[in-house]
Amino acid sequence: MAAEKKKIIKKKVYTINKICRFCYDNRHKINYKDIKTLQNMVTERGKIIPRRISGNCASHQREVVTAIKRARNVAFLPYTVGR
């Protein structure tokens, strides 16, 4: 047998279930005026953190994105970070 079969070992990947903070605690409301909450959803460079990283559910992530865009339009949040 010239070609031997190699045994492939697959590693199990363990993921932590992220819970949407807005679904978990109903006291948090998504508002474009709440800058402290929105700053947690934006990187240092001004990019919006995606849903798979932030752990938000789809409906709340859409609300967060629209709130961030409104806050940027009213100049509560910057579009980008100046050098």
Predicted confidence at residue 49, as pLDDT, reads 95
- How far, in Å, CA of 11 to CA of 14, rounded? 9
Residue 60, in any domain of the structure: yes
Domain that holds residue 47: 21-73
Q: Write the CATH number for 52.
A: 4.10.640.10
Residue 6, in any domain of the structure: no
Residue 59, in any domain of the structure: yes
The string of pLDDT tens digits covering residues 30-42 is 999 999 999 999 9
Total-model pTM = 0.76
Predicted confidence at residue 81, as pLDDT, reads 82
What is the percent of the chain where pLDDT is above 70? Answer: 95
CA distances from 59 to 26, 28, 48, 49, 65 (A): 14, 14, 15, 15, 10
Residue 15, in any domain of the structure: no
Output the six-digit token pair for 46.
Answer: 């001004």
Residue 65, in any domain of the structure: yes
Residue 37, in any domain of the structure: yes
Q: Domain count for the chain, please give it.
A: 1
